[in-house]
Structure 1
Amino acid sequence: MAKQVSIDVVIPSFRLEEKYLLPILQLKRPESAIIRFYLVADNPALVPAEAIKSLVDNEHVFLTVNSRNLGAALTRNKGIEMGQGDWILFLDDDIVCNADLLETYVHAIEQYPEEIGFIGLVNLPKPGKSFSHAILANGSMDTFTLAAKYDSAAWGATANLMISRKAVGDVRFSERYPKFGGGEDVDFFINIRERNGYRNYKTLPAAAVAHPWWDNENANFKRFFRYGVGNSFLPQLNPKYAYRDLLDGPETLFMAVLATIVLSVINIHWLAPMLTLIGGILLIEIIAIIVQALKRKVKPSLATFRYMVQLRFVYESGILWGNLTRFRLAGISQRFNFDGSFPKKGKIFETNTYKTIKWILYPVLVFFIVKRFM
């Protein structure tokens, strides 16, 4: 008789919202599988609702409340350690699952038992506001839809991803990343991938969940700044995937501001041309982002373009801030290959429309400043 499939569903949560968690905990469980839910609340002040506590039987549904806020990485590690199932399914605490989600994953295990893991699909609602349109247009949430575009990928979103415990081994989410999240998920999955001969995770679009927009689609840039700060650790902790690139917008402005301060101290007459340079850098960045957006056939909208510019600057400023606060100047201009590939030998810079536009316009800017002030 074939061994029953056993899956530990790990759900880290800060809110324990009934409207999302109750349907997840009550998902249909395939008869051919042993399903256990491990709900880990990372908020010591929480008082679980009676409806949630009524489902906790410490046999199929387990609940633990952290005595202190541990952050995203350690909370997921705690969930991993709580179970012993052959497979671990990570789900976010604010998703709506297809009714057959667990059946789909069990069927995938039975069909492809040697895979190291399966990346499910995370669908966002159709955008209703310009900020959400900008998030989709600039590719911020492309990780959510990897399963709809590729047969496999090097990592996926912890909102909906199942992984083999055997493949995981002793790999855990790193404590070196910020507690508020960012980068630790990429680090975790690429390290497991490396441990298993660099095999990608199989995508599983049929295993679908829906994820709501954050903050009712109102503009909120904190999340994307935090992503930037967290992702600034990736090249440092995983140098084999790191490479050098041309300076991005915030890095260029940072260098320009430093140069302005130094040159103005030496001679105040440098102030006017350097301030012109800073203004020109901002203008060129905006033009390059908008041109790239038009090439991607983003529906023209002043509000969407404005948010796209802001999102890019906020995210890249998070990366710069993360490096500067660690006094890691070597992180400036360092990038990370999120597709899990290694940098090509002999190739210094990656090119795209955004960069091409910038480095055509920068010489024009310098020429203008020289003619105007020199």
Structure 2
Amino acid sequence: MFTSTDSIDIIIPSFRLDEQFLLPLIRLPKPGGWQVNYYIVADNPGVKPGATLLQMAREGVIQLIINTKNIGPGETRNKGIDAGNGSWILFLDDDIVADEDLLFQYVKVIGEKKEAIGFIGLTDFPAPENSFTRALTVAGLTSIFTIANKKDQFIWGVTANIMYKRSALGDLRFSPELSAIGGGEDVDLGARLSMQHHTQFTCVKEARVTHPWWNYGQPHYDRFTRYGAGMALLLSRFKQFSWYAFPNPIEGMLLALLSAPLFFIYLSWQKWLILLVAIPLIDMVINYIRASGMGYKDLSVGYYMTLIRCSNEWGQLKTLLQRGQLHYFMKRINIDFTRPRHFRTNRWRIIKLVIYIILLAVLIY
């Protein structure tokens, strides 16, 4: 097997094996003098590879691995890591469209920064096309994908487009626990690697791919629930980077439910119901104001932002409750892994707090 230091293993986990996206990635122009190996790992025992992929596998253009059972994206990437031995490992998603010079841009930066532990490429999204995708943008769900546009270095990057140095990675692998829930494994591995080597990934905005809108841009929430579950697990793994915050809407509704007996005794169930309904409505109003500030004045943007956020918060709270980790209630994690203050706030949290105080005052008096 090729063992030159000038070699890249491209690992693409896939469930669908959609040739529409995979074939252009396999056929990307290759830099001269570099060995590029493809590991397409299907996490779907029942998948039927297309004729072209099967031919490429027979001819040795790619290595096609089909898992005997579904093991999750992180463990699937681990299979690809262990199957290859290239000096650099490039992770790509199976539904992205890469710029033609993607590999050239990575090779260029490797030549300039051979000691780097890895490189974070730019993962762009198309322009928002409806209220839901505008909500994703305003809510910041795409910001980590485009971190290469904002930073020169960062501690982790999404696996849609990121390169690891194999010698730096060593025996580190994606966490099976995080992979099982499908959220947070990219954060975890990148952070552990950066902390181990006391450095960060270099951002390369020129190494660009475009990611389609999830679910064709249509409303969906299971993905963000999984992300929230991943954040819950990261809290216990990196508790030194956690901090307390005001209750989010899901936590606030749980507190309102727990306080129901006091309302029924001292006030009324009608006032308690007003408080319960007001919690997500107040958040929706704040989200609409935020969206309006970015030029999106459609009321539905605030509505979708609230549902996206609540699905994420529910994933985190549900996971903490299932694990019996109630001491992380109202805790957050800094995903840039800077050491936070014990309590953080911002103008939006302060505005919501003032509204809550006024509402409670009205209900009590």
**Which TM-score band (shorter chain)?**
over 0.9
1:263-299 CA-to-partner distances (Å, cap 9, x unmatched) read 37x849642332222123233222332333344x242
Q: Work out whether residues 92 and 161 of structure 2, in 8 Å CA contact, stay in contact via their aligned partners in 1.
A: yes
How far, CA to CA, are the matches of 2:269 and 2:323 in structure 1? 30
Which position in structure 2 is the counterpart of 1:88?
89
Structure 1 Cα separation of the partners of residues 218 and 290 of structure 2? 24
Q: 2:63 corresponds to which residue? A: 62
1:358 alignment partner, SS class: helix
TM-score between both structures, scaled by the size of structure 1: 0.92
Percent sequence identity over matched residues? 36
Task: Show CA shifts across 1:38-59 (max 9, x none).
Answer: 1110000012111111112575
Spell out the pairing of 1:133-282 with structure 2 (5 A cutoff). Answer: 133-177=134-178, 179-197=180-198, 199-260=199-260, 262-263=261-262, 267=265, 270-282=268-280
Residues 38 and 61 of structure 1 are in contact (CA less than 8 Å); yes or no, is this contact kept in structure 2? yes
1:138, 1:308 within 8 Å by CA — same for their partners in 2? yes
Q: Distance in 2 between matches of 1:114 and 1:242?
A: 31
SS of 1:182's partner is coil
Give the paired residue count: 362
Task: Give the distance between the partners of 1:181 and 1:110, measured in 2 at CA.
Answer: 34
Given residue 221 of structure 1, which amino acid in structure 2 is its aligned partner?
Answer: Y
- Whole-Å separation in 1 of the counterparts to 2:187 and 2:273: 39
C-alpha separation between the residues in 2 aligned to 1:356 and 1:118?
A: 37
Question: RMSD value over aligned CA atoms?
Answer: 1.7
Deviation digits for residues 107-134 of structure 1 (CA, Å, limit 9, x no counterpart):
1111110111111011111122111111
Equivalent pair of 2:175/2:188 in contact (CA under 8 Å): yes
Name the structure 1 match of 2:47.
46
Against the structure 1 CA distance between its residues 164 and 146, is the aligned structure 2 distance closer, same or farther, given a 3 Å change threshold?
same
For 1:287, the equivalent position in structure 2 comes to 285
For structure 1, list consecutive stretches of 5 or more residues without a partner in the other structure.
none
Give the secondary structure class of the aligned counterpart of 2:338. Answer: coil
The CA distance in 2 between the partners of 1:334 and 1:4, in whole Å, is 44
Q: CA deviation at 1:73?
A: 1.4
Distance of 2:179 and 2:131 partners within structure 1? 29
> Counterpart amino acid of 1:124?
F
Give 1:113's aligned residue. Answer: 114
Change (3 A) 1:131 1:369: same
Structure 2 unmatched runs, 5+: none
Please give the TM-score of this superposition, normalised by the length of structure 2.
0.94
Q: Are 1:322 and 2:319 an aligned pair?
A: yes
Q: 1:93 to 1:84 in 2, by over 3 A?
A: same
Q: Aligned with 2:180: secondary structure?
A: coil
Q: Which residue of 2 aligns with 1:333?
A: 330
